[in-house]
Amino acid sequence: MRSKKERRYSFCINLVMILISVVMVIPFLLLISASFTSNEAILLHGYTLFPSKLSLEAYEYIWVERAQIFRAYFITIVVTVVGTGTGVMISLLYGYAISKKNFPGRSFFTFYLFFTMLFGGGLVPTYIWYTRYLHIKNTIWGLLIPGLLMGAYNVIMIRTYYQNSIPSELAESAKIDGAGEFTTFFKIYMPLSKPVIATIAMFVGLAYWNDWTNGLYYITDSRLFSIQQLLNNIMKNIEYLSSNPYSIMSSSSYVPQETVRMAIAVVGVLPVLLMFPMLQKYFVKGITVGSVKG
């Protein structure tokens, strides 16, 4: 039976969390509501939680570009899946290696990792290196490799997790039984790493899904546009039509500028919102309880 003080404390904590949740959810509700509202209603009444005049004109405008959007979705899904899987595996292997105290060159590789967090070559040398020497411009590698494939912060998180959450006795027992490093990593460490794998996969996956700078720098072929780059181009076209009211295109077509902005955001963020609940359970799940028995 909890005391009155504990109940009051629990009530205050729950109230604060509810208020924080409401503050974070309301912008999404406004976003979705605005995307289904008439453009004229937005201009007259502003943004509301419920559409003052229901309309699908924003999605109808986007639907005109459905062929490009579906292709961009496919490109983005492929890049996100391949990049996330590869990036997580590279980070896991790197973090596993530098978490071992007897790993040769451990200090050098740890220092190298920290060095990349503090210093960089800059955009121009990076662009020259990737385009002139690695030849990734207008290829799928231009969306996969630059800046996203491995993050130093992710490796440090994995290294810390291995050092603090997985007992070294497990690796020692496996070594006594004749297991090598790869067997120990894939058969022992990876099954016990679901929470950190899910967390890193979420970080890397979101970075790939939301990225548009790689497409801006390295992709000019419209067949390789990611969904974010394509939606950004659609937004630029809308701004151009709105700023040039006497152009041929704008005189023959109506552009619901305000609501299309919201609809574009919904199209870009919806898959992420659907995926998050499937990974959320791993963020708070314990893994080492009972793994070592005396």
Q: For residue 178, what are its two tokens?
A: 């004749």
Phi, psi of 100 (to 5 degrees): -90, 125
Average pLDDT of 50-75? Answer: 84
For position 252, what pLDDT does the model report?
A: 44
- Give 243's pLDDT tier (boundaries 50, 70, 90): low
**pTM recorded for the entire structure:** 0.79
- Give 128's pLDDT tier (boundaries 50, 70, 90): very high
Largest CA distance in the chain: 80
Task: Give 260-292 pLDDT, tens digit per residue.
Answer: 878 888 887 877 777 777 766 665 554 433 344
- Print the SS3 string covering the chain: CCCHHHHHHHHHHHHHHHHHHHHHHHHHHHHHHHHCECHHHHHHHCCCCCCCCECCHHHHHHHCCHHHHHHHHHHHHHHHHHHHHHHHHHHHHHHHHHCCCCCCCHHHHHHHHHHHHHCCCCHHHHHHHHHHHCCCCCCCHHHHCCCCCCCHHHHHHHHHHHHHHCCHHHHHHHHHCCCCHHHHHHHHHCHHHHHHHHHHHHHHHHHHHHCCHHHHHHCCCHHHCCHHHHHHHHHHHHHHHHHCCCCHHHHHCCCCHHHHHHHHHHHHHHHHHHHHHHHHHHHHCCCCCCCCCC
Query: Hey, what domains does the chain have and what are their CATH numbers?
Result: 62-284 (1.10.3720.10)
Average pLDDT of 29-35? Answer: 87
User: Which residues is 54 bridged to in the sheet?
Assistant: 37
